[in-house]
Amino acid sequence: MTHLISHSRRLRSTPFTAGVEAKGVKGYTVYNHMLLPTVFENVVEDYHHLKQHVQVWDVACERQVELNGPDASALMQLLTPRDLSKMKEDQCYYVPVTDNDGKMLNDPVAIKHSDTRWWVSLADSDLLLWIKGYALGKGLDVQVFEPDVSPLAVQGPKSDDLMARVFGEEVRDIRFFRYKRLAFGETSFIIARSGYSKQGGFEIYVEGTENGMPLWDALFEAGEDLNVRPGCPNLIERIEGGMLSYGNDATMANTPLECGLGKFCKPAEGNAHIGHAAMARELAEGPARQVRAIAIGGEPVAPARAPWPLMRDGQQVGQVTSAAWSPDFEVTVSIGMVDAGHWDDGTELTVVTPEGERSALVKEKFWV
């Protein structure tokens, strides 16, 4: 069943929307009140191209929240269970953010500019309101706002080659989840080796809306012979790679431990995190459910619009939240949340899809 998206100012355009539409984007989703492209050729063609060449992605919807002021670093550590004390100057940190019950509110990437200035690059929730509201209630000395920064991603195996042509050879030296500030024309951007695919690449934090289209055009001009194309996070590829999507595979009903993020939840010195007590209890008892790769048998099924129940002996023991047919692995790859006692590698379950029941094999590892 297909439906049109009704455009309005409320579904914000990005600095790159003119470029995206000139290149014939066919579908959108909405992410942080902003347009996120979903399809150019079609999901399968986009997938093959991403794995072979290089794509430019408008991920401006990864909105930034800036924390600026004397209490910025203390506030950051209150927000997340991850210990920030050893973070290097050029490092990006994936930081699950929870409430006082240890429930996930977002899973952003944080960049530390200085002890008094941070950016967090958001998944799909208005985390600005949480951070600003909490800081106000607590009486912290910090400004919290959305700066004019729009990430543009370059993803795919030829990413280093394309980026080197636009930003110089030193872009190749950026390590995974590290960043450098590199020049572009009269300005410069923070460039991190990161992104929402397993094909390698970068995220460019484009400061200043007016710099968006010049960068977009420069990347396409420089990459013609690399077969550069517009792209977007690809449903199939991200499921194969086990990249969780907040709002799809995890919600405010889940904890970081349930999402398999235990390595980011080792309590920091002083246990500052808002959700420390709740998380300590969960660490002691173990999580009630956990994310798993699920291989679904039989005929392909249209992508999930709502959770599909996972059943064992007539009892629900979990749910599948993202699923897509994988041309490379010739199986329906999926991400599910499985209850304790049923999540061992090789467990055979049944999944109830809108198109009928299918076999569902629990796998410890994703497809990469």
List contacts with its own copies (CB under 8 A).
1-11, 13, 21, 25-30, 33, 38-39, 99-100, 105, 124-127, 129-140, 245-248, 274, 303-307, 321-322
Q: Longest Cα pair distance anywhere in the chain, in angstroms?
A: 64
Shortest spacing between CB 137 and its own copies, in angstroms: 2
Measured from the CB atom, the residue of 130 and 202 that comes closer to its own copies is 130
Measured from the CB atom, the residue of 133 and 327 that comes closer to its own copies is 133
Shortest spacing between CB 79 and its own copies, in angstroms: 10
Shortest spacing between CB 174 and its own copies, in angstroms: 30
| DSSP string for residues in 198-230 | SS-EEEEEEESGGGHHHHHHHHHHHTGGGT-EE
Measured from the CB atom, the residue of 46 and 203 that comes closer to its own copies is 46
Task: Report how far Cα 216 is from the mean position of its chain's Cα atoms.
Answer: 21
Shortest spacing between CB 180 and its own copies, in angstroms: 32
Measured from the CB atom, the residue of 63 and 193 that comes closer to its own copies is 63
Tell me whether residue 54 is exposed, middle or buried, using C-beta atoms within 10 angstroms of its C-beta: 0 to 12, 13 to 18, 19 or more.
Answer: buried
> Could you give the angle at the alpha carbon of 243 between the alpha carbons of 114 and 144, nearest 5°?
30
Residue of 283, 139, 121 lying closest to 204 (CA atoms): 121
Long-range contacts of 163-169 (CB under 8 A, 24+ apart): 163/191, 163/202, 165/222, 165/223, 166/215, 166/218, 166/219, 166/222, 167/191
Tell me the C-alpha distance between 93 and 347, whole Å.
33
Give the amino acid at 233.
Answer: P
Measured from the CB atom, the residue of 226 and 252 that comes closer to its own copies is 252
Shortest spacing between CB 223 and its own copies, in angstroms: 25
Measured from the CB atom, the residue of 26 and 175 that comes closer to its own copies is 26
Shortest spacing between CB 92 and its own copies, in angstroms: 23
